Amino acid sequence: MKTIGYVIPCFPTLSETFTGVEMRAMIALGHHVVPFSFIKGQDFQRADIPLMKQCCYPSALPYYSLRHITHLLRSLPFIYQQREFGRLALIRQGLQLALWAHRYQCRHLHAHFAWHSAAIAIVAAKILNIPVSFVGHGADIYAGPQDLQTKLSHCQFCCAVTKAMHDHLQSLTKTPVHYLPCGIEEQNYPTLNNDWSPSKRFLFIGRLVEKKGVITLLKAIQRLKHPIEIDIVGDGPQKAELMSFCKQHGFIHAVSFLGSQNADWLRSHAERYQGLIAPFTIAKNGDTDTGPLVLKEALALGIPIITTNLVGCTEILSPDIGVMIKKDSPEQLATAITNHQLKSHQELKTQRELGYRHVMKNFTAKAQAQRLSQWIEAL
């Protein structure tokens, strides 16, 4: 099977588990995978350590082959259509990536995010005369697209993590766009515990940024007649603002900020929580979560979900396995939390069992890797 070079802006990254999950699933199918990244992440999942040790950082090895310069002509039409990336930097990094992809005998380059990683992968692939593809995730498509149509016209195919993104991208190009939602590693999620007996605590987990809607969550807590306790797991630029809000409104003891935690932490603590609250929204710059992996992980761990009815959520959940409300509505979120507290243990148990079966049927990394492998092998 083909050796695939994965081109990733930053690897490993604690909040971007989907890249490691996908690479491990492709390796399990029989592909040799070589990660290429431009920045080495500081925080990461334990499962990503083997891939991190294999990862090549071309920018840290400023060499390129003179013989590849002669093949640079194949990439010049694409380079000169770029407006968001310096052409000389693109040539230099494309040549560097081509050198290392050639040394590792890569026969396909697959980039995550439609930003510089995709642009550099396209240049290197054209130099080497091998196929290239990329995955769109969210901000790279909606908040800050960079020469998106040009990238689409110069790759062999593109992947979209939601059906709505698929339709949007396919409307821009004749290049094939495939729907490929992020998956979970099913071996990490055994059958649910029938003796589930959670505490009264709720959970939020994610980066503390605008699109996660944490401020809406805190405003909803203000409106509750019966206060709740919730653990906020994650870090980010909004943390100080959110902690200040809690202190100002007198529920700093009800809201615990636990900082960033890895996937192992979530799996070992999942059963203590009666529900996950994920009030996603659309940031002012258009950024939004697309197919949030945390919802799939919660379903696999049997944590009942309260979230918003954004497209990325409605493609994962249905009314019988998760509660979905209007975004940016503290009133609706407060009502949903109250209704959740009134549900019987049996109702919640049924909900978690349905959710587990749903995610294992539709969103496993193995199934998604099989589809991606077929598309790559067909080229």
* The predicted structure's pLDDT at residue 106: 98
| Coil, helix or strand at residue 243 | helix
Strand partners, 5: 34, 109
Strand partners, 35: 6
Helix axes 214-223, 330-342, angle to 10 degrees: 60
**C-alpha angle with apex 102: 87 to 377, nearest 5 degrees?**
100
Structurally, at CATH architecture level, domain 186-362 sits in: 3-Layer(aba) Sandwich (3.40)
* The predicted structure's pLDDT at residue 342: 95
Name which CATH class applies to 3-183+364-377: alpha beta
Query: What are the sequence ranges of the domains in the chain?
Result: 3-183+364-377, 186-362
3-183+364-377 shares its CATH topology with 186-362:
yes
* The predicted structure's pLDDT at residue 62: 62
Q: Which of 288, 280, 319, 295 shows the shortest CA–CA distance to 182?
A: 295
Report the chain (379 residues): mean pLDDT per 10 consecutive residues: 97 91 98 95 88 88 72 94 92 92 96 97 97 96 95 98 96 98 94 90 96 97 93 96 95 93 92 96 93 94 97 94 97 98 94 96 97 98
b/e 126-161 (16+ beta carbons within 10 angstroms → b): bbbebbbbbbbbbbbbbeebbbbebbbebbbbbbbb
Cα–Cα distance, 251 to 229 (Å, whole number):
9
pTM: 0.93
